[in-house]
Amino acid sequence: MQQGHASASDRRDFLRTAIAGGAALAAGRAALGHDRVPPAAPPAGAFRIVHMTDIHVQPELGAEAGLAAALAHAQRQKPDLIVTGGDSVMDVFEAKRGRAEELRALLLGTLKRECSVPLRHAVGNHDIFGWNKSRSGTSGTEADWGKRFACDMFGIERSYHSFDQGGWRFVCLDSVQPKGDGYTAYLDEAQHDWLVRLLAETPRTMPVCVVSHIPIMSLTTLTFGKPRGRDKVGEDNVITNGEMHTDATLLHDLFKRSGNVRLCLSGHIHLVDRCAIDGVTYICDGAVSGSWWKGPLQGIPEGFGVIDLRPDGTFDHRYEAYGWQARK
């Protein structure tokens, strides 16, 4: 199959999956503890976004048809905007150039073909090309190396950016900083200074939605983290530097001071959690790919966030499964 174009059999598979998906959808809702059918359109006065994170599109496991199914279901929610939360491609961090270009073509081709809603993008670790030089075979001198590849793919000037819509200011942050052959999570100094200035310039009455790939605050990592086992009780809980922003305290203090940040959306963990602290709500929104297209992860099905934002800074959120059934 040529990359970026669904074959007829893929299309049939997609339709079959979409039909079979009804039962999975109900199961997914049950697993998440809610069973209400989402309203067909956002309530009057609200602005609806769909937050699709951790798509991890790839040629394997029917991921292209999965993304098409997710986009179809997302558009049935009648959003004004779809925001992707990073890790839109399976991985170009460690990929060779040919594979990286293949994944980019697959993502852009599917989005172009299957999505008619405006899109905005945040950058995730897997969208950064070649930072693991030994595995990707890069030198670091390539013109599109690293975050340039991600920015070009998403059509953005810089890996962090801001825009206003529906009376809200959206801030897409870049969580990912280099650490050896890998990464760690924080805002570098230039980005942090930019954010401080941006929030200071934003009226206190204008609600702000922050989107970061890696959560600024999230506790779901403790469900699979260390320590584990009766013999470890009494030791520190560990959230590693790649799992949650290491500058979380700095950022939360900044949000508290600025008084306009209402909502912070993230992905990366592929699990769903929500915590509200000092008037700021932090939501981690599962993954379009579930367990990297191998099924639900810890009972969380493949899905995305649907958020209705009102100009007064209040919002409603739900995690919406789209009924994907993993192909074995």
Query: Given the rule CB under 5 A, which residues bind Zn ion?
Result: 54, 87
CB closer to Zn ion out of 87 and 247: 87
For Zn ion, give the closer residue by CB, 52 or 111: 52
d(CA 234, CA 226): 12
At its nearest, how many Å lie between Zn ion and the CB of residue 186?
18
> Do β-strands 261-266 and 182-185 pair in parallel, antiparallel, or remain unpaired?
unpaired
Residues 6 or more apart whose CB falls under 8 angstroms from that of 113 comprise: 6, 68
Identify the sign of the CA torsion 74, 77, 79, 85. Answer: negative
Least Å from the CB of residue 322 to Zn ion: 17
Residue closer to Zn ion, measured from CB, 50 or 280: 50
Identify the CA nearest to 213 among candidates 89, 65, 36, 63.
Answer: 89
Nearer to Zn ion, 87 or 102 (CB): 87
Pick between residue 69 and residue 176 the one whose CB is nearest to Zn ion. Answer: 176
Count Cβ atoms within 10 A of the Cβ of residue 192 and give its class: 0-12 exposed, 13-18 middle, 19 or more buried.
middle
How far apart are CB 156 and Zn ion at their closest, in Å? 19
Among the listed residues 118, 99, 135, 136, the one whose alpha carbon sits nearest the alpha carbon of residue 50: 118
Nearer to Zn ion, 214 or 261 (CB): 214
Minimum gap (Å) between residue 281 Cβ and Zn ion = 22
Alpha helices in the chain (DSSP H): 8-31, 63-76, 97-114, 133-136, 147-154, 189-201, 248-258
Nearest alpha carbon to residue 1 among 101, 98, 71, 102 = 102
Rounded least distance, CB 36 to Zn ion, Å = 28
Q: Which is nearer to Zn ion, 54 or 285 (CB)?
A: 54
Q: How far is the CB of 318 from Zn ion (least distance, A)?
A: 21
For residue 170, what are the β-bridge partners? Answer: 163, 209
Q: Nearest distance from residue 183's CB to Zn ion, in Å?
A: 12
Using the structure block, give the residue that is written with the tokens 């060779």: 96
